[in-house]
Amino acid sequence: MITVEQVDFSYPDGTRALLDVSLKVTSGDSVGIVGANGAGKSTLVNHLNGWYLPQSGKITIDGVEVLKKNLERIRKLTGLVFQNPDDQLFMARLCDDIMFGPKNLGMDPERSAEESEKLLRDFGLWALRDKPPSKLSQGQRRFAAFAAVLVMHPSVLVMDEPTSDLDPRNRKKLISLVNNLQATRVTVSHDLDFIWETCNRVHIMAEGRIVAAGATKELLSDRNLLETNGLELPLRLQG
């Protein structure tokens, strides 16, 4: 479903954020990307919907190459919930933000309106639908960003730090929501317990490279491997 082949990426100031990154994600898989601050996780996943374009190497989503000319197709396939919801929410009212994507993709307006109502209710945001997203709390904005992506039914759902700002009950709600989705999923998170509960495979990144990949429970219980890469065991394994 996703192939990333030998991708390099440097920012305009010369920071080399990705170095020879390759990975494959099979349809229906749920893959976690973990690593210390600055490891390159966001830079990598922001390539999966064409927010960034590879400077060398190649990325495909369901056979479609991530290139400028394919961006419309790529954005129909991949829904990206950004690390910072402010990168995603910009309309005057929350409800307009949720409907922005479906309108842009030419989806059936009535059906999308029904679904957006359901999502806003599920996320406890329905009463806030006329508020500007900038006036919502952090956690409410996080859920709003989710609703804005889920309403488009992406085949690939990419989430960057989805649990930050969520209270414990909403975090649990997100775990069950995510585990019930059909979409192929890629999750970046420092919340290794969330990764443990929602991902079947994990890639560890350090200094712009993928340094390990494997089954979640195997990698996330390897204390040495985690510590070498600036991480710690998930809380559930810390006793």
Ligand X SMILES: Nc1ncnc2c1ncn2[C@@H]1O[C@H](COP(=O)(O)OP(=O)(O)OP(=O)(O)O)[C@@H](O)[C@H]1O
Can you give the binding site for Mg ion, defined by CB under 5 A?
A: 42, 83
Least distance between Mg ion and beta carbon 106 (Å): 31
Structure tokens, 212: 């390990």
C-alpha distances out from residue 11 to 15, 40, 58, 199, Å: 5, 11, 18, 29
Q: Considering CB distances under 5 to 8 angstroms, the limit depending on partner class, which of ligand X, Mg ion, none binds residue 13?
A: ligand X
Residue 8 backbone phi and psi in degrees, to 5: -115, 150
Least distance between ligand X and beta carbon 151 (Å): 25
- Beta strands (DSSP E) in the chain are 2-10, 16-25, 30-34, 56-61, 64-65, 78-81, 156-160, 184-188, 201-206, 209-215
Question: How far apart (Å, rounded) are the C-alpha atoms in residues 119 and 43?
Answer: 28
3-state secondary structure 153-186: CCCEEEEECCCCCCCHHHHHHHHHHHHCCCCEEE
Least distance between ligand X and beta carbon 232 (Å): 14
Question: How far apart (Å, rounded) are the C-alpha atoms in residues 219 and 233?
Answer: 10
Binding residues for ligand X, rule CB under 6 A, total 13
Q: Considering CB distances under 5 to 8 angstroms, the limit depending on partner class, which of Mg ion, ligand X, none binds residue 26?
A: none
Least distance between Mg ion and beta carbon 92 (Å): 28
Q: What number of residues does the chain have? A: 239
- Residue 38 as a binder of ligand X (CB under 6 A): the answer is yes
Question: What mask, x for binding ligand X by CB under 6 A, covers residues 78 to 107?
Answer: -----x------------------------
Which residue in 37, 180, 224, 238 binds ligand X (CB under 6 A)?
37
- Residue 11 as a binder of ligand X (CB under 6 A): the answer is yes
Residue type, 10: S
Query: Residue 50 or residue 101: which is nearer to ligand X going by CB?
Result: 50
Within residues 43-82, the interface with ligand X by CB under 6 A covers 43
Within residues 12-31, the interface with ligand X by CB under 6 A covers 13, 15, 17
* Nearest residue (beta carbon) to Mg ion: 42
Query: Residue 95 or residue 192: which is nearer to ligand X going by CB?
Result: 192
Which residue in 2, 4, 31, 39 binds ligand X (CB under 6 A)?
39
Question: How far apart (Å, rounded) are the C-alpha atoms in residues 21 and 146?
Answer: 27
Query: Which residues here bind ligand X, judged by CB under 6 A?
Result: 11, 13, 15, 17, 35, 37-43, 83
